[in-house]
Amino acid sequence: MSQDARNDEGVGDGPVEVVLVDDHHLFRTGVRASLDDRVRVVGEAATVDEAVRVVHALRPPVVLLDVHLPGGDGGGGAEVIRSCADLAGTTKFLALSVSDAAEDVVAVIRAGARGYVTKAIDGPALVDAVRQVAGGDAVFSPRLAGFVLDAFGTSAGDIATGDDELDRLSAREREVMRLIARGYTYREVAGELFISVKTVETHVSAVLRKLQLSNRHELTRWAAARRLL
């Protein structure tokens, strides 16, 4: 994934401070080395308990969070997000995982993460993703967009008619999701649909909200089929 949309408003010019949470020391070292000077790692943690402590102490704008973590009640990354719920206004979570299992993705997103990227992501793309999350946007990889389409259905009956419907995507949101799943960056999606990048980000945030709040029957069934519930 290479989000070249550098939308840094609200982030400022200085480096974004992040806390890196992953139980593999080797991986943390690798991520630190791949980040450039637009992002500064201010803290690290290897377990759920440690992560909750460090995040509460440092209150960073962004936390890079592994989905699978030891410690705590065994809830992994999702548990960290829930335990840091009191920081919801200041700290945002970007999930980073080697897994592409649907239940992992949905668990952290529904806990409140603002995006999901796989560990195969390269340095500059990760920096972009971090700055996007810090700026309040959601980060959708093609795979996450695919999961959303899978969960909300792709047939004609699944289109939302009103804005307040949580259980279905609007036609526009679905178009955006399909383009992201096809490997388009936000900027390319905007060009393809003749809308602004900001509008694309609004659509993506709306989809993220639906994914987090929807009680859609199919979402439950879909999660159950993949042994999430």
Partner 1 sequence: MPCDDACVDVTAPAPTRARARLPLRRPEGERWLGGVAAGLAAHLELPVAMVRVAFVVLAPLAGTGLVLYAFWWLTVPPGDPRDAAARERPSALTRLARRPDDDGAETGRHRRWPVTDIALGGLLLVVAAALVAVRSGRLQAAWLLPALVLLAGLTLAWGQLDSMQRGRLRSRAGGRTPVSVLRLLGGVVLAGVGVLLLVGQGTGRGIDAMTLLQAALASLAVLAGVALVLAPWWLRLVRELGDERAARARESERADIAAHLHDSVLQTLALIRARADDPGEVARMARAQERELREWLYSDRPAPGTSLAAALRAVVAEVEDSRSGPGGEAVAIDSVVVGDRVPDPDTAALLQATREALVNAVVHGRPPVSLYLECGDELVEVFVRDRGDGFDPDAISQDRFGVRESIIGRIRRRGGTAEVVSRPGRGTEVHLTVRVEQPAQSDPVEQSEQAQRSEGEA
Distance of closest approach, residue 54 Cβ to partner 1, in angstroms: 17
Cβ proximity to partner 1: between 14 and 74 the closer is 74
Q: What is the rounded CA–CA span in Å between residue 165 and residue 149?
A: 16
Cβ proximity to partner 1: between 39 and 106 the closer is 106
DSSP code string of 154-199: -SGGGB-SSTT-SSSB-HHHHHHHHHHHTT--HHHHHHHHT--HHH
Distance of closest approach, residue 43 Cβ to partner 1, in angstroms: 21
182: which strand partners? none
Query: Which residues sit at the interface with partner 1, rule CB under 8 A?
Result: 1-2, 68, 73-76, 81-83, 85-86, 88-89, 92, 99-101, 103-104, 107, 110-112, 114, 120, 136-138, 142-143, 145-146, 149-150, 153-156, 178, 181-183, 188, 191, 202, 205-206, 208-209, 212-213, 218, 221-222, 225-228
Distance of closest approach, residue 201 Cβ to partner 1, in angstroms: 9
Cβ proximity to partner 1: between 41 and 228 the closer is 228
Q: What is the rounded CA–CA span in Å between residue 43 and residue 53?
A: 11
Cβ proximity to partner 1: between 112 and 123 the closer is 112
Q: What is the rounded CA–CA span in Å between residue 52 and residue 80?
A: 6
**Contact yes or no for 50/106 (Cβ under 8 A):** no
